[in-house]
Structure 1
């Protein structure tokens, strides 16, 4: 029996949203730690680990071999969802990259998603982009998690396909998260307090510039008002 694989807190949270007996793809799998962990703890699960670069692809193969999981995990080299055949998986995980990249992967590979009922995304930045894509493509945001690891704050966004609920998300919902923005836990407040301070600095710099971009300043000021509102230290703003 091979040793148990250990996951970071971030990936443990991601894995927790996969159902028992899942048939999933982990896109940008890196060392394939996530699929190895899932399949080690659930022998009914099946996984495809996709990696675009030769180095991580080779590392993923080595990890799957080390944990003797070749019969459950298929490691494939390719860009985004191109590693999948049509209707091959029911869940997709994309973790550890920027929100705009996650969005473009989903958009470019959306023909592979016809049977995908669950998308678990963990963008490092630009979460709004991911939420926007999910809501445009009939995925209801069912769960959101915010956590801190090694001094960085991460958000996990879980989209479920074809529920009865229709997403009527405002721009504010897309920015803060329809669930996180309601919960407003301590870490959420810390993140947005930090963002507020950064935004104030940016606005002041832009106002002191010789040539001012009024449109951009107005956009940032609107965002600042939303942050103040969600943190409860400003009046209501539309």
Structure 2
């Protein structure tokens, strides 16, 4: 089975030998691939919606993986039993929903024994990073990929006894040649990705140039309003745009590869 660039990036982070659970698995392509590749001994594919759940069951049966890949219908981490999995992957949903799934699962003990999380939010990446930081997960690596005109960020987090110290160092924005308070630096890295800013790739510049374009469009539209609150919001937008521009200007640029 051949995966998309996005799912391949997720699969690459899963540690060989780990039992995995894919939450919001859709057609179960990711766990099928990982089992067929011999990377995982067993897996759980969790899917809430009936249509994709039935499609996943068929795909697993056609692949002859019923003995090693359990397809379960349910909401979030409710499909997983505590201690059943070493790795959890969640891909293709918003950061707010992803954070809620992780937090509910944590409270229900579903993350007990889980050693790694591989997460690909479509939007709201900072919400996921903040949850990982607050709950003692170390953000070990990140990547950013562009596929079919869309840009995706993938995060690999691990359980670590020294996660607090390692995260404090990771989210220290002093490596950026900018005048930033500790709080401002941390917020910036939460938003844009601490690893992504340290090793910037072409897709990172593409993403944030696009975000700047959206902010500028909103900034111009606000100029049509005479309300004092609109003027204050417009000023905040300008400050945000200036800060993002400063960050992009200070990053070392890399040339895209066309090989």
Q: For 1:214 and 1:157, how far apart are their aligned partners in 2?
A: 37
Q: For 2:154 and 2:244, how far apart are their aligned partners in 1?
A: 20
Deviation at residue 213 of structure 1 after TM alignment: 4.2
Match of 1:114 among 108, 112, 115: 112
Structure 2 stretches lacking a partner, 5+ long = 172-185, 252-259
Corresponding residue pairs, total: 230
Structure 1 stretches lacking a partner, 5+ long = none
Match of 1:132 among 130, 133, 139: 130
**2:178 match:** none
Other structure's SS at 2:98 match? helix
Match of 1:193 among 206, 209, 215: 209
Q: For 1:112 and 1:19, how far apart are their aligned partners in 2?
A: 19
More helix by share: 2
Deviation at residue 225 of structure 1 after TM alignment: 2.6
Deviation at residue 203 of structure 1 after TM alignment: 2.0
Deviation at residue 183 of structure 1 after TM alignment: 1.3
TM-score by length of 2: 0.84
TM-score by length of 1: 0.91
| Alpha-carbon contact 2:35-2:41 (below 8 Å) kept | yes
Equivalent positions of 1:173-188 (< 5 A) are 173-188=189-204
| Alpha-carbon contact 1:30-1:51 (below 8 Å) kept | yes
Residues 75 and 142 of structure 1, relative CA distance in 2, 3 Å threshold? same
Deviation at residue 201 of structure 1 after TM alignment: 1.4
Residues 44 and 130 of structure 1, relative CA distance in 2, 3 Å threshold? closer
| Alpha-carbon contact 1:140-1:163 (below 8 Å) kept | no
Deviation at residue 214 of structure 1 after TM alignment: 5.6
Match of 2:60 among 55, 59, 64: 64
Deviation at residue 204 of structure 1 after TM alignment: 2.3
Say what the alpha-carbon RMSD is for the aligned residues. 1.8
| Alpha-carbon contact 1:172-1:226 (below 8 Å) kept | no
Residues 177 and 86 of structure 1, relative CA distance in 2, 3 Å threshold? same
Match of 2:12 among 5, 16, 24: 16
Q: For 1:152 and 1:203, how far apart are their aligned partners in 2?
A: 24
Residues 214 and 121 of structure 1, relative CA distance in 2, 3 Å threshold? farther
**2:73 match:** 77
Q: For 1:87 and 1:217, how far apart are their aligned partners in 2?
A: 50
